[in-house]
Structure 1
């Protein structure tokens, strides 16, 4: 909707094998700059969001809420984020409150050094990793890469490592988005 406010329509656990918590959610998120005048190089932000997931298997509706704080390390341009999330049973398998964290390292400099069309794609990309603590349905560590181009397209590719014993839920993550 704007540079600092986003609406989303998201599917969860759509695939095989069929899971009890397949859902589609409508939600929003925002990230607002803080102390931008006094600490501009740190790009401090406070963020929040909510999703209203509708479980496609049993029709239950829940509310997922989260809040986070993030900062960019000035010399490396690495963004670090930490926060808290509260998720409903119809999406997470049980009601859960847990830590969320992520790290993002832009590849702008590498892309510029490579140059050409390949360098341009790399320059618009970042290495990312996120972690949801706990052994609920979304308790995962997900390293990957994201790509944001100047036309509003976003592609995220990652691999999730489940926090659950036996790690039967490991798998590929693909997200595609478009800013209008």
Structure 2
């Protein structure tokens, strides 16, 4: 399957292209710069992978929570590219929760299976979700279970249960105000 995935909801622009089992990745500055650099970076990454918009099967985008401008950018670009892909025949669009993407990155990079994903929401608040990986069982694929929708709170209010790992960009913004003493998966 040929996938294009990107997230512009945080201060980091993340793009990935998958062709069969191979993956190409790009990261860069997010925020306002993402609007100007997203499409050229996508085109460059597709070229590196030997793919084009005509060969994509699906487009995945980060649906937030996050920056309002970043979310509008991701959604609009995903819809526009998907509509025009395959010579106008289009491809499906799949929105993915950004906090789940943070948890998956912690699992992929560090093997974490119990993750408190926390992103800087600005204005002295963080977006947070408790995510637990449930391994494959009885023929069903592994998947994440969360405590519902994301929460929004002060950094001091984030609870990290014993044995769980804190992941995301909120630690860099709020240092020891955010779950002091908790295990932390750094990017």
The higher-RCO structure (CA 8 Å, 6+ apart) is: 2
- TM-score, normalised on structure 2? 0.27
Please state which structure has a larger fraction of its residues in helix.
2
